[in-house]
Copies of this chain bind each other. A is one copy, B any other.
Amino acid sequence: MTSQKEPQEGHSTSTKVTGPSSWSKVSCPCCTSTQIEPLVLIQLAESVQPITKQWIMSVIAAPVKAGGAQLLVHPGEDMKGDMIVVAAPRCTLHRVTEELGLCKTYQDGDMKAFSFEDRDNFCNIDDTQQFLTLAERQFIVKHEMDLMKALEDQRIPGIPAPAGKLKARESILQKLEKAGLIRSITPLHDQERLADLGKQWYSQKSLWGQPLDYIHNYFGGTIAYYFSFLDFYTLSLFPPAILGIFITFFLPSANFSTAIETDSNASSKISDDDHLSVSSYMVQAVFSMLWSTIFMELWKRRSASLSYHWGTFNLAEQFQEPRPGFHGEIGTNPVTGRLEPLFPDWKRKMRMGLVSVPVVGFFLGLVILGMAGFYFCERLVSSWHKESGSYFTAPLLYLPSIAHIVYTNVLGNVYRNVALKLTEAENHREESSFDYHHTTKVLVFTFFNNFAVLFHIAFFKEDMPLLRKRLSSLLIVTQVVGQFTEVVVPFLVDRFLTSANRNLKEDDPEVDHLQAQGSLPAFPGLFAEYIELLVQFGYLSLFSCVYPLTAPLLLLNNLTEIRTDAYKLCKLFNKPFSAPVANLGVWQLAFEVLSFISVISNCWLLLLSPRVKEWTQEAGLSSSQVIVIAVIVEHVLLIVKMILAFIIPDEPDWLQVKREQIEYNSMQALKKQRIKSTRVDGKLQKAKMGE
């Protein structure tokens, strides 16, 4: 029997209760507390009537059995206002912590999956703000609200029939959002801690280090993982950056080949230089290949350690609810036995195979078409100019480039919409599967759009100086443009346009402070940030042997990127919800695929470099012999890469022991529980017989 201590209450009573109205009552006695922390702000549409607001609040406060979320609600200023503030009672927080499978520090100092029954043996269990991070508490509120369900057909009070009709088992929050009753749901900032975090994060003087634990605590899993990865990646850029600088400035022959071409020295000296440059070229290519492999493997270990440290390494698999856009015929889910919309898998596969794949292929074709058109027009225009050269035809020379840039951008934008529509048409049941297919579609196109030109220059034109020029300009231009559009523009908009709303003083009513939080734009998510990193990583691992300064430039970029991303997240957007996660998810795979392609790319770049060609000609090898050698080298390198990936364990040893420990203990506990439950059954029977 576990002894059921009454949890101790009331350490600090910093009453944060807002306005004259009061919080809803708690149903369970153990959770009554004088200190209620507002976690999430729901902003309603202005048209919402008090009766509807009242109903929404009552649903949120209702117990889970009644289809509610068992949370605490507060009407803000008064019942007429357009906001609802939501908090969470201790019971709900603990229950969901167990359901999610979050791990917390046990009394023996190890991380252990939280168990409600065994809660008294976890550290800090009495202080909820210590026990769960702010981001976790806010995520739990959102998670529970997402699960609110109508138990039977009913009407939303104050809303006319078609929009206000709720069917049995329909998700209430989805319905409210679809009907336009909810403008936004945002986790609330804690201004004091935000300022503190900002000081440690982007305002610090030192170039290095981010307060990752603090970020995880305040912003939550997905965001902390992004910044951890950015951190690790930037750190990993040092070795290639140093090598790149060394090759560029201390081995002059590896520099722009034009420099040598214009330099008409004795042939003996060139030959010497050539040998040198070939070897530096090879060093760079092989290094690049090894680096990308080891980087990914070490990141996996780092990621595993983080997930242990943050208690997410044992997350429970959730039987996810259907995502909002999912539709289908109502039927019995074969897994859960519940009535819900069903959509057959073969139909989805048909749509993927017969619609999505061809359409994506079509867009990839358009990219190539654009490229071909660009080269064609360029040749056409330059021949015109040569024939009838005048002041009027000179500006025409820029026309193809401009047209191509416009074309690429338009295509990119159109494709982004098409990818979203296609994935929606595939009608995925789970949010995670939707994200996966959507991301994959965007990724394939982005790869193509960014790298097709470079591959074309490298392997068809075989024009290394052009590749080098193109790469360097791309790196510098995207860096400048990226930083500008990502930060400077939102910063200026924020400063001069929207800040009027935020001229609040400390002594203004709390409600106004809350209101101000809703006024910022919604955080656009990390999609664009990851894509940016991925394209960077592509430039580096695919082509850096041509332009050794890639790594130093990227290092410079990332050191500022960390700061600007942090500033953006803290200041320029609403705080986003962020789920507890254990890894980068689909992005991990994308980086791994890229690092695989890099081996192949580096091999052939090496082969095609003019120096290697000269060198092999001198060595008396026929071109087909050279290619055969390259093929063998490529295959050997791929095998080395696979062996490397295989022998570096994905988890540090200590973590593996911990994991096995946890498995072993839970197995033992299960055995004990079985024995106990049979014994208890026996005792109960005896007790009954004794009555």
Contacts and interface: CB of A to CB of B under 8 A. Distances in A.
Interface of A: 1-2, 4, 116-117, 316-317, 319, 334-336, 345, 600, 622-624, 626-628, 631, 635, 653, 657, 660-661, 663-664, 667, 673-674, 676-678, 680-681, 683-685, 687, 690-691
Contacts of A663: 317
A628 B627 CA distance: 7
Q: Enumerate the 4 nearest inter-chain pairs by beta-carbon distance, A residue then B residue, closest first.
A: A687-B687, A623-B624, A624-B624, A335-B660
A661 B335 contact: yes
A322 to B, nearest CB: 15
Contacts of A676: 677
30 contacts: A1-B681, A1-B684, A2-B681, A117-B674, A117-B677, A117-B678, A316-B667, A319-B660, A319-B664, A319-B667, A334-B657, A334-B661, A335-B657, A335-B664, A623-B624, A624-B626, A624-B627, A627-B627, A627-B631, A631-B631, A673-B673, A676-B677, A677-B677, A677-B680, A680-B680, A683-B684, A683-B687, A684-B684, A684-B687, A690-B691
Contacts of A661: 334-335
Contacts of A4: 681
B664 A336 contact: yes
A624 to B, nearest CB: 4
A626 B627 CA distance: 10
Contacts of A673: 673, 677
Contacts of A674: 116-117
Contacts of A622: 623-624
A447 B592 CA distance: 29
Contacts of A631: 627, 631
Contacts of A680: 677, 680, 684
Contacts of A600: 635
A690 B1 CA distance: 17
Q: Is the interface of A mostly helix, strand, loop or mixed?
A: helix
Given A345-B653, A627-B631, 5 more contacts: A116-B674, A631-B631, A673-B677, A676-B677, A677-B680
Contacts of A683: 684, 687
Contacts of A336: 664
Nearest to A99: B671
A1 to B, nearest CB: 5
Nearest to A676: B677
Nearest to A678: B117
Contacts of A345: 653
A683 B627 CA distance: 80
A472 to B, nearest CB: 28
Nearest to A680: B680
A687 B334 CA distance: 41
A624 B613 CA distance: 13
A685 B1 contact: yes
A296 B345 CA distance: 23
A691 B689 CA distance: 12
A602 to B, nearest CB: 14
A320 B45 CA distance: 61
The residue in A334, A335, A684 that gathers the most chain B C-beta atoms within 10 A of its C-beta is A335
Nearest to A688: B687
A603 to B, nearest CB: 10
A108 to B, nearest CB: 12
Nearest to A634: B631
A627 B319 CA distance: 51
A601 to B, nearest CB: 11
A515 to B, nearest CB: 40
Contacts of A677: 117, 673, 676-677, 680
Contacts of A690: 691
Contacts of A678: 117
A666 B664 CA distance: 18
A14 to B, nearest CB: 32
Contacts of A623: 622, 624
Contacts of A657: 334-335
A631 B345 CA distance: 36
Contacts of A116: 674
A231 B690 CA distance: 62
Nearest to A683: B684
A627 to B, nearest CB: 5
Contacts of A624: 622-624, 626-627
A687 B687 CA distance: 7
A626 B661 CA distance: 57
Nearest to A319: B664
A91 to B, nearest CB: 13
Nearest to A623: B624
A691 B686 CA distance: 12
A623 B627 CA distance: 10
A302 to B, nearest CB: 20
Contacts of A316: 667
Nearest to A459: B628
A631 B608 CA distance: 15
A680 B635 CA distance: 64
Nearest to A649: B345
